[in-house]
């Protein structure tokens, strides 16, 4: 399988598709990625989902139809993701360390979101992937939150990941970075990230139409319809 970037001519924009071994779009995944695109998710977000769903080719090795998946298959998928990554035959390098809990959870979240979407379309039967949770004060909302009408659920297949406080730069260090830039583009990007707190993928996905300099407003495409 291959994740392929495609250009949308009538929009002058691009998105991502997942292709099979014959370089044809994987239709079930394509409909899910198109759904994300219609919700105006960032192309970088769509690419991440496509890359995560590429790992679901595990079903081919397990000889399981994607519409006949059981909870046990998902647990086996998690175990496979946690194994040390195989070395490339071309480089003959030693196997690298296994994926972190955070990376596995991100891949698993992409697969479960895909199946939640397909269940709502009636393509597959419901899977016991989630358990209810009181989400009254829960700030995070999933991709399909607008369909659930406020009901919050938690993925039952999720590894416990250690929480690390990310290191941050001081104001003086940020100023040193900005002063070291030779191009206005680089200074603009650093200032944008520092002043707004948006992610790098969101910043790179901005268009000219998203920036309203006359009233000092920047519209984030990824959160327009959340």
More confident residue, 102 or 87: 102
Q: Give the Cα separation of 77 and 86 in Å (integer).
A: 16
More confident residue, 87 or 61: 61
Note the pTM of the prediction, 2 decimals. 0.59
Where exactly are the structural domains of the chain? 1-162, 171-223
Residues of the chain with pLDDT > 90: what percent? 5
More confident residue, 173 or 214: 173
CATH label, 1-162, candidates 3.40.50.10070, 1.10.150.130, 3.40.190.10, 3.40.30.10: 1.10.150.130
- The DSSP code for 86 is P
- Label each residue of 137-189 as H, E or C: CCCCCCCCHHHHCCCEEEECCCCCCCCCCCCCCCHHHHHHHHHHCCCHHHHHH
**Please, what is the Cα angle at 215 between 177 and 13, to 5 degrees?**
75
Tokens representing 128?
Answer: 């016991």
Q: What is the average per-residue pLDDT within 124-151?
A: 56
pLDDT in tens, 12-52: 778 888 888 888 888 889 899 999 988 888 888 899 999 99
């Amino acid at each position: 399988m291959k994740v392929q970037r495609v250009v949308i001519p009538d929009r002058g924009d691009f998105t991502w598709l997942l292709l099979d071994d014959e370089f044809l779009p994987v239709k079930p995944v394509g409909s899910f990625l198109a759904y994300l695109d219609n919700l105006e998710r960032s192309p970088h977000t769509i690419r991440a989902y496509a890359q995560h769903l590429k790992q679901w080719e595990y079903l081919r090795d397990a000889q399981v139809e994607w519409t006949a998946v059981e909870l046990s298959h998902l647990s086996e998928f998690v175990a496979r993701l946690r194994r040390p990554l195989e070395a490339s035959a071309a480089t003959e390098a030693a196997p690298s360390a296994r994926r972190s809990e955070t990376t596995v959870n991100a891949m698993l979240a992409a697969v479960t979101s895909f199946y939640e979407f397909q269940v709502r379309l009636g393509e597959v039967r419901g899977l016991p992937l989630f358990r209810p949770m009181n989400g009254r004060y829960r700030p995070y909302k999933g991709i399909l939150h607008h369909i659930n009408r406020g009901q919050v659920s938690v993925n039952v297949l999720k590894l416990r990941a250690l929480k690390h406080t990310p290191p941050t730069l001081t104001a003086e260090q940020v100023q040193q970075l900005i002063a070291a830039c030779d191009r206005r583009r680089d200074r603009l990007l650093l200032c944008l990230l520092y002043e707004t707190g948006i992610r790098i993928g969101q910043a790179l996905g901005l268009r000219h139409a998203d920036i309203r300099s006359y009233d000092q407003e920047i519209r984030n495409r990824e959160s327009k319809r959340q």
